[in-house]
Amino acid sequence: MTSVPNPQQLLSGSKLTTLWLFVFLCLFTQTNAHEYSNEVTQVSSKKVYQIAILLPFHCDLTNSVIDKKRKNVMLSYYQGMKIALKQIDSFNVAYNILVLDTDNDTSKLRLILARPALKNMDLIIGPTSDDQVHMAAEFCKEHQIPLFLPFTNYTTTVAFNPFVFNLNSTHYLQANTMVNYYKKHHGNRKFMIIRDGGSYDKNFGNAIVAVCKQQNIPIREIKYSTTIPWSSFINSPSFIVHTSLDKIKINYSVTGLQAFQEKVVLVGSDRLMDFTDVDHKQWENLHIVFVTTHKSQVVHPISNKMRQSYRENYRDDPSSYSYMGYDHLLFAAEILNAFGSYFPLFITNKQITYSDTDFTFKKTNSCYHNQYTGIYRLIEGEFIAENIN
């Protein structure tokens, strides 16, 4: 259980708003809340919420190199959660937060879910791998517990699961946002994609090609090399998506494209926003923009506040995973505090802003999915949000 003073809550409202929510729920939930509970009649007056965090922390320290890298990500994510606790601890309700190590092991997760305490959770965050996600999704559907998935998206063709919430946008949604941005602002340019065959290329790159095909947009695919003959490709204004996450490959391409800077708009992953050893002025010459689900690099008061608190606690800057942990736990606690178990009725199709991401959940064939994707342009060394619509 937690307890510390609380700054202003992002979702808290006046007493009048609370009364309105109570009246609205009493009238509305009789016909609309059956997806979430069979016995919804009024706003919950619960004073203690139970939240379980099920992630592969690998506490036994006997794992592979990949497992150790995953452990570092989980540690960074959890450190962000610990910063969120300072705000959560002073809400007008209490939270019991149970943190358990799945060790990225399906059999271990099965044992965890078999614990009687798990059936009484008000919300679960995690796990990560596909098999574990589907196992947890079935468990949460059976026991009517909201499941927040921070890393791995849940998809199924069997049936809609109203208790699962994908917190991150899919590569397909990101690709669709980027293509719509292209049509709105750069539709007169040739569309090209530089592909390096890496994991990001196989996910985001394939999604771009699929979206362009669906929308009948001509696209030219170019295999990455250090000796791409740019002059044979760029004979008119061009919109170039580079799917590599390798900074050396990006540097080669940026250098090669400098001679065509008046003709080029270059699109890259948000991972490139972290490359501090690249000459950003060269990027600006190419009118570079980034497709991202993270906005902590952009000047924003909530991000600044989290960053300051993180530095005070860890004497370091937060990673994108730290921001995610902070946002995810704070968001979970605030919507439970504001709306109790009825929160899906109030967050669907609404944009809610946090330090690193926004949450805009829509109902899909599988579950509720966060649709947020941003486009940011590098201008005079700062990342500025582009108008997507």
Average pLDDT over residues 216-223: 95
SS3 state at 85: helix
Q: Which residues lie across from 240 on neighbouring strands?
A: 192, 266
pLDDT value at residue 367: 94
Q: How far apart are CA 93 and CA 250, in angstroms?
A: 49
What is the rounded CA–CA span in Å between residue 150 and residue 323?
A: 12
Q: Does 210 or 30 have the greater pLDDT score? A: 210
Provide the pLDDT confidence category of residue 18 given band limits of 50, 70 and 90.
very low
Check residue 127 and give its pLDDT.
95
The segment with the largest mean pLDDT, out of 17-21, 303-307, 323-327, is: 323-327
Can you tell me the mean pLDDT for 222-249? 91
- Measured CA to CA, the distance from residue 356 to residue 293 in angstroms comes to 8
Tokens of 128: 């990560």
CA atoms of 307 and 355, how far apart (whole Å): 9
Q: Using the 8-state DSSP alphabet, how is residue 204 labeled?
A: I
Q: Looking at this protein, which amino acid is placed at residue 354?
A: Y
The single-letter code of the amino acid at 30 is Q
Q: Which amino acid is at 33?
A: A
pLDDT at position 120, please?
A: 94
Q: Is the pLDDT of residue 28 over 90?
A: no
Among 91-100, 141-150, 375-384, the minimum mean pLDDT is found in 375-384
What structural domains does the chain harbor?
15-168+299-372 (3.40.50.2300), 171-292 (3.40.50.2300)
